[in-house]
Structure 1
């Protein structure tokens, strides 16, 4: 890698309702003037964002993920283990990780954040199917994400809201066993969902884990108990308006090393809003400060 900074912008063309490509092509000259050795890669449907990011990290000092949480997740999966710096220009409907590092949808402000280059080491969580930066949801959370990803609704909020209602009516609590490395006793109970949270929110505004900070070396485990369905729907409606779970219906734990979760039957799950293969056995490990990220 050169000693001089070089920036590779990886743009998911499907982002911003498929307007991302034309937007960035109009911004190329401006960005090249601001960032030395800037290059641009436009991601098509069958391209592997992770592999492209991994390849570019060998010759570029900065990789800028331009898209939603899924794009950021796949770029990060290509950068973990390298010395490359991750930057973000959010273009998705949720942008939860971008929010957690102080970004919004103001393009000019986000470019200014990149140019100031305040770097924070962010924690990463490894799983059997890769890494994630923000949240991993199992059960109702994973099914909500599945329905939202299949929805034709344009609004990100509506996709998640309608998907959540579908999931709440079609799910059942499932018996779960959770082993936290720092705890001596396994947790065994029926639950609606488990969220492994390195960040506070999902779906743009759903405050799943308000106490989570993605640079503190620990990750939260949010377990939604087997309360009755009506109570759960009420709590979901509260979440939809920016409130967090009532503490009486959730158990929360923190861990700094590893967690394993097994469920009675395979369940839908997601990592940073991206569906992952259905499973009944999950393992998570905290990698403190594993990724250098430009933050506001």
Structure 2
């Protein structure tokens, strides 16, 4: 016998410039009337979103991540391996995963999508430190995210843009070795950055991997070659206005099983916009259709 639907909304109170809690408390009665068995969990900075999501997945059939990409990532980390369905109410500055499943910034439309419950099985990428849904980046990409996370700008675009400019000035090309399962020869070259892309964009509008689809069972590797710094800055400015990389300055690969990336020294890195432990070696594995997600 199927379990009766019930919903748990996990709200990151820091989202939407710390306005998320007040907004959702005003919406609680509406949500509880619309969705059966609704509970709302308000997350403070010291709470483990992943652990709370894991616990609530034992009580509810649907867990709704209310926040930005980092919130979605941490909720997803608590749901992988369960039969629970993930929903998203995007409240962050980038909302790249939400965009990839057809959601926008309009609350009522996103609630309508939850009501329709069109479910897609989305691929998940596992790593040495957990799972991610959208992108992982090292090199300029990882450093850009680090500087953006430390920025005082309220605008998500300005945080990422200014963080990118700072990273472009301070970064240096790095030696990498990439080993893709099923391929005999490793890829060894000097690069500016490597992105593992299950989704098309990061930072809200930076289309780093336009060919990526998060439900096709494969993940792309975007390798930015060691071009001149001036050329790299020019390409970053293009990305900032919605254009994608010039194909001549990137190598693109894909994998359906696993890949490992080694660098000459430890580097800052991000996954779904969250900084992850610095390392000089990362291993990734594709988990096709590992998460059931409500899409628009």
TM range, smaller chain = over 0.9
Q: What is aligned with 1:144?
A: 144
- Give per-residue Cα distances to partners, 1:168-208, cap 9 Å, x unaligned: 00000000000000211100000100000000000000000
Q: Distance in 2 between matches of 1:127 and 1:85?
A: 22
Q: What is aligned with 1:294?
A: 294
Q: What is aligned with 1:213?
A: 213
Any stretches of 5+ residues in structure 1 without a counterpart?
none
Any stretches of 5+ residues in structure 2 without a counterpart?
none
5 Å-filtered alignment, 1:1-296, equals 3-296=3-296
* Root-mean-square deviation over aligned CA pairs: 0.8
The question of whether the paired residues in 2 share the 8 Å contact of 1:76 and 1:86 is answered with yes
The question of whether the paired residues in 2 share the 8 Å contact of 1:21 and 1:42 is answered with yes
Q: Distance in 2 between matches of 1:98 and 1:144?
A: 21
**Displacement, 1:284?**
0.3
Q: Distance in 2 between matches of 1:23 and 1:215?
A: 32
**Displacement, 1:3?**
1.4
CA 1:63 to 1:10, structure 2 compared with 1: closer, same or farther past 3 Å? same
The question of whether the paired residues in 2 share the 8 Å contact of 1:2 and 1:59 is answered with no
Could you list the structure 1 runs, at least 4 aligned residues long, displaced by more than 2 angstroms after superposition. Answer: none
Q: Distance in 2 between matches of 1:45 and 1:156?
A: 20
* SS in structure 1 of the partner of residue 279 of structure 2: strand
Q: Distance in 2 between matches of 1:193 and 1:3?
A: 45
TM-score normalized with structure 1 length:
0.99
TM-score normalized with structure 2 length:
0.99
**Displacement, 1:2?**
7.3
* SS in structure 1 of the partner of residue 214 of structure 2: coil
